[in-house]
Amino acid sequence: MKKKELRALYKEKRNDLSELEIEKLQTNIYNQIYQLDFSSVKNIHIFLSIQKHKELNTYPIIKYLQRLGKSIIISKSNFSDSTLTHFIFDNNTVLKENKYGIPEPIQAEAIAVEEIDLVFVPLLISDEHNYRVGYGKGFYDRFLQNCRSDIQTIGLNFFKPITHISDINEFDIPLQRIIYPT
């Protein structure tokens, strides 16, 4: 299937999940993350969930990583050029939802993309080759193109990867790992 079809299908599938189903799926994903070795990374970028889209709640992951002494990085979206600017997220960071429901930092400390060691990437669905379908604006593809060559990337998703996304192009960057409920 093509990205546009997959995007519509998996938005609907995610929207159809009950709160109980989401809770179970999240717990499974959290438990997998808690088993990972984070000793080689310091600065970890993670997305903040858009609640109205029933995205994975990333706050338990953030709290866990902070307890490990990791610096958490979040982004602010620039919709005029589909880029992200990155900021340190700590207990003093004030958040405000933008018009799309994305929580974003206000007056936080900026951090260069080169300082990021690992990125947790949001997605709607992925394939067996770790290519992803997001919301279609290209924010993460642009972001990942600007990261260091040794960046670690992990996609987080409620659904098992499909076999193949048919319209992958040269701008699509495969992730190193996809975590989904097993």
Q: Which of 84, 83, 65 is nearest to 75 (CA)?
A: 84
* Joined tokens for residue 118: 């690992």
Question: For residue range 64-105, what is the model confidence (pLDDT) as tens digits?
Answer: 999 999 999 999 999 999 899 999 999 899 999 998 889 999
Structure confidence at residue 135 (pLDDT): 87
For all residues of the chain together, what is the average pLDDT?
95
- Tell me the pLDDT band of 11, cut-offs 50, 70 and 90: very high
Question: For residue range 123-147, what is the model confidence (pLDDT) as tens digits?
Answer: 999 999 999 999 878 899 999 999 9
The CATH classification number of 3-163 equals 3.40.50.10420
Structure confidence at residue 137 (pLDDT): 83
Would you tell me how many other CB atoms lie within 10 Å of the CB of residue 69?
Answer: 8
Given a cut of 90, whether residue 107 has pLDDT beyond it is no
Structure confidence at residue 42 (pLDDT): 98
Residue 52 per-residue DSSP state: G
What 3 state SS string does 109-176 have? CECCHHHCCEEEEECCEEECCCCEECCCCCHHHHHHHCCCCCCEEEEECCCCCECCCCCCCCCCCCCC
177 DSSP β-pair partners: 154
What residue segments make up the domains of the chain, in order of their start? 3-163
Question: For residue range 24-67, what is the model confidence (pLDDT) as tens digits?
Answer: 999 999 999 999 999 999 999 999 999 889 999 999 999 999 99
Given a cut of 90, whether residue 149 has pLDDT beyond it is yes
Structure confidence at residue 171 (pLDDT): 83
